[in-house]
Amino acid sequence: MYELVMKKMREGDWGAVTRLLHELHGTGAGRSRERTAGTPRRGFSERFEAVSLTPRLVADAVVEENGKFKGIELGGTEYKPSARFLKGLAQRMKVSFSIFELFTPVEVIGRAAERAADLPLRVTLDHEKNEALALVEDKGVPMPAGNVEIVMREDPRLQKFDYDDGVITGSFALGESWDVQGDSRYSVHINVQVPVDGMGTPCVTLSTLRQVCSNGAVAEAPLFRTKMEIKDNSGEHFRRLLRSFNNPRGIEALHERLLAANGTKASVDEVFRVMSFVKRQVRDARHQMLLCERLEAVADNPCVRYGVTDLASIGERRRGLLPVGCSVADLMNFASELGTHHADLIKNPRAVDALTGEFFAKGYDLEEMYPNAQPARGFYLSGIDFGEGARR
C-alpha cells in the first residue's frame, strides 16, 4: 500500500493519494475530530493540521482557568499548549524561554498582540491529543506528517517508527556492524528526526545498537549529526535523501570512539556524571537509590577505594584523574540499558542520547593513560527490583 501511495505521489495524482491514505488508516472524510472510545487512531495525514493565525487571534483564542493559561480555542475545540508552543511564543517575541519564570503565558501573549498584532504565524494542531504544537512564523509549509510516515515506513531498512512531542523519529539499519573485543557486536543505525510543526530542522544522527542486549545508543552530538534540507513537500526528495544518506567520516569516528571507550578505564568524574544524570532524570527517589548503588558496584565502589562517603566531596579536577574499576563503555552501556529497557523510569529518555553523545564527542578523561582489559557485562541492571509498573 505504501508503495502505491508513493507511486501516486510521483505521478502527481493527489486525489488518489488522499483516497489511499484514508483507506490505509481506516479514516473517512468528514469524520469528527473528536476521537470516541473504540474508534481507531488517526493516521498522520489527518492527525496534524497547520492553522494560520496572528498574535491578535491567539490572544482572542486564549482559554484561562483561575488566571492560568489553560489552552487556546480554535474551531470550537480547545487545545492545550505544549512546551513547543510556549517555546515558539518566546522565539516570536525574541526573548528567552525563561521569560515564563517572570510572566505568565497569558501576559506574554497579550504583549505579543500589542507589539505585532497582525504578524503572520502558524500553529500545528494535534487532533489526537488536542494539543497545540509549535507556534512559528507562517513561512513555507513543513512536509506533511503523513508523507513523512509513508516515506519512512516504505523504507525496508526501518527498524523502529515513533512519534513524541512534535517530532517523528525513524531508526534505520545501515547494514554495517563491528565486533568490539571483550564486549559485543555493534550494528550501525541512523536516527532520522522530522518535526511535524516546522520548529527545528530535520536531521540524521548516527547511532549504534549493542546486539548482546539490544541497547540503543544514539550519538546525539554535532559530530555525528547531519541536517537535512528537504526541497519539496511531496516526500520524493526526502525519500532520495534518506536512501542516499552516507556519513563515512562520522561512522569511522563513531567506531574509533567506541573502541576507545571499551579500552579505557573510566574516571571518578565520569562515574559522577552518570550518577548526576540518574539523580536528575529518574523520577522516583527509591529507583534513584537502587540505580546509584548498582552504578557504584559496576565501578567497583569508588567511594570505598578513595575513602569518601560521596563522590561530590572529591574536587572536580581530581575526580577526572582518578580511575575506577570499569571502562567508559561500561558507563555508556549502563545508561543506554536504562534508556532502552527501563525508559518508564526516566523523565526524558532522549536525555540518554545527549549523555551518550557527550561521552562520544569528548576525549575520555583517562584515555591512553589507564587501559582497560576487563570484558563488558551483557546486562548491567538485571536483578534490580524496581517494583510494580516499572518496565523491564
Q: What digits encode the pLDDT tens for the residues 61-77?
A: 999 988 789 999 999 99
> Strand 323-327 relative to strand 265-267: parallel, antiparallel, unpaired?
antiparallel
Q: Please name every residue paired with 192 in a beta bridge, in sequence order, or none if there are none.
A: 170, 204
Given a cut of 80, is residue 392 above it in pLDDT? no
Percent of the chain with pLDDT over 90: 46
Name the E strands within the chain: 48-53, 62-65, 68-74, 77-81, 121-126, 131-137, 158-164, 167-179, 185-195, 203-210, 215-218, 225-227, 265-267, 323-327
Given a cut of 50, is residue 32 above it in pLDDT? no
CA separation for the pair 238, 294 (Å, rounded): 44
Q: How confident is the model at residue 84 (pLDDT cuts 50, 70, 90)?
A: very high
> What pTM was estimated for this model as a whole?
0.74
Q: How confident is the model at residue 240 (pLDDT cuts 50, 70, 90)?
A: very high
CB-based contact 296:306 (threshold 8 Å) = no
Given a cut of 60, is residue 21 above it in pLDDT? no
What confidence tens digit (pLDDT) does each residue in 283-312 have?
999 999 999 999 999 999 999 999 999 999
CB-based contact 110:59 (threshold 8 Å) = yes
CA separation for the pair 356, 335 (Å, rounded): 8
Residues 6+ apart with CB under 8 A from 216: 171, 189, 207, 208, 209, 210, 336, 339, 340
End-to-end, the C-alpha distance of the chain in Å comes to 35
pLDDT at 8: 54
pLDDT at 30: 33
Q: Is pLDDT larger for residue 203 or for residue 97?
A: 203
pLDDT at 33: 40
Q: Cα separations (Å) of 223 from 138, 249, 254?
A: 31, 10, 9
Give the dihedral of Cα atoms 197, 199, 200, 203; nearest 10 deg. -10
Q: Is pLDDT larger for residue 20 or for residue 21?
A: 20
Residues 6+ apart with CB under 8 A from 313: none
Q: Helix, strand or coil for residue 122?
A: strand
Given a cut of 90, is residue 115 above it in pLDDT? no
CA separation for the pair 23, 60 (Å, rounded): 37
Q: How confident is the model at residue 197 (pLDDT cuts 50, 70, 90)?
A: very high
Residue with the three cell numbers 491578535: 56
pLDDT at 358: 85
Q: Is pLDDT larger for residue 328 or for residue 386?
A: 328
pLDDT at 97: 79
Q: How far is CA 179 from the centre of its chain?
A: 27
Q: How confident is the model at residue 232 (pLDDT cuts 50, 70, 90)?
A: confident
CB-based contact 322:263 (threshold 8 Å) = no
CB-based contact 22:47 (threshold 8 Å) = no
- The mean of the pLDDT values for the chain is 84
pLDDT at 233: 85
